[in-house]
Amino acid sequence: MTESTGQQPGRARSVPRVESQGRVGQVDSTLFPRFAGPATFANLPRADEVSDLDIAVIGVPFDSGVSYRPGARFGPSHVRESSRLLRPYNPAVEVAPFAAQQVVDAGDIGANPFDIGKAVQQVHDGARQVLERASRLVTIGGDHTIALPLLRAMAETHGGPVAVVHFDAHLDTWESYFGAEYTHGTPFRRASEEGLIDRSGSMHVGIRGPLYASTDLSEDAELGFRIVHSREMDDIGADGVVERIRERVEERPVYVSVDIDVLDPAFAPGTGTPEAGGLTSRELLRILRGFADLDVVGADVVEVAPAYDHAQITGIAASHVLYEIVSAMAKRAGGAPG
Ligand SMILES: [Mn+2]
């Protein structure tokens, strides 16, 4: 192992990796600098470096559906670059997420930046393709438009609608912008209309800020969502939110969609539509640990726009969100402590 350190660029080489329970894990940062080499999520192997895999992390560098600040197309590479410090063992849930399951970085889906309809189809096709190899898909966005094709792929894979737990400052159930139906503010209305989401088991968490009208809320409820507003955090706390989620979702297969703007701009400045009064990263991570009791079939973290980020604050928050989600999946799968 130690002989493989200090390799010369251009020479055939294999980077030392943490191997545990038969899984190929992260680059071993005690033997090879974690800041060297091309970034994959958490320095995990690429999909072509393993024979079998359980969870695929993919990037969707697409932001043509945004309504305010652009830049989330650079989210996947920024989150990967910000994830190099993640380590193999998660003490908060007592699981080694990359040993309990084979997790890989399956690269990016190339989505057309000039044609949203085409991009939506490409994300759908790309997700279906990855799901032929992986049982779980975890996506780094990209703007929230991509949740619609991802949910199409989920519903097809699971043979019916899935519950959605959506963390966001915004409802994302609006009708259209400038006549456009496929945008980052409309994916969950389209998904509900298409029968992709379980209307009796879905909810938003972290909603806040001004709306267009009070009917935004009544229409949202008709589309199948219940809400934990950001302002309720102080009253019920993270554990109270987890309880509300468990009561709503029960044993349904659930898709978790995290718009990083659910966090307060203090914890996630690098995003497209920031709103004051959001969750702390500590609150969000604690809520996500509660998902170990749920059947999480897929997830995304979207709307990281690095041009507005500073010192990787938002990228690091997003990488820890992904880490907790993958840990919850590992825990649920019965992953032994590492
Ligand atoms: Mn949002």
* Token representation of residue 311: 């010192």
Cβ–Cβ < 8 Å for 258, 301: yes
Query: How far is 75 from 65, CA to CA, in rounded Å?
Result: 14
- Determine the average pLDDT of the residues in 324-332: 97
Q: What's the rounded Cα separation, in Å, for the pair 151 and 190?
A: 10
* Percent over 90 (pLDDT), the chain: 94
CA 201 / ligand 1 centre spacing (Å): 21
Which of 200, 197, 108, 201 is CA-nearest to residue 160?
A: 197
| Helices (runs of H) and strands (runs of E) counted in the chain | 9, 10
CA 260–ligand 1 middle distance (angstroms): 7
168 alpha carbon to ligand 1 midpoint, in Å?
Answer: 5
Which homologous superfamily does the CATH classification assign to the domain defined by 15-332? Ureohydrolase domain (3.40.800.10)
219 Cα to the center of ligand 1, angstroms = 18
Helices (H), the chain: 75-81, 97-100, 116-131, 147-158, 187-193, 215-222, 233-249, 281-289, 313-332
Asked if residue 338 has pLDDT above 70, the reply is no
How many A from CA of 315 to the centre of ligand 1?
Answer: 16
Residue 125 has pLDDT above 70, yes or no: yes
Write the DSSP symbol of residue 279: B
pLDDT of 13: 62
281-289 vs 233-249: helix axis angle to the nearest 10? 30
> pLDDT band for position 334 (50/70/90)?
confident
- Dist. CA 22 → ligand 1 center (Å): 39
Question: 14 falls in which pLDDT band (50, 70, 90)?
Answer: confident
CB burial class (10 A; 0-12, 13-18, 19+) of residue 80?
buried
User: Domain locations in the chain?
Assistant: 15-332
Concatenate the DSSP letters of all residues of 23-83 into one string.
Answer: EEEEE-TTTS-TTSSS--GGGPPBGGG-S--SEEEEEE---TT-SS---GGGHHHHHHHTT
Confidence band, pLDDT 50/70/90 cuts, at residue 8:
low
**How many A from CA of 170 to the centre of ligand 1?**
5
Kindly report, residue by residue over 287-307, the tens digit of the pLDDT. 999 999 999 999 999 999 999
Reported as a pLDDT band with limits 50, 70 and 90, residue 9 is low
304 alpha carbon – ligand 1 mean position (Å): 10
* Distance from residue 91's CA to the centre of ligand 1 (Å): 30
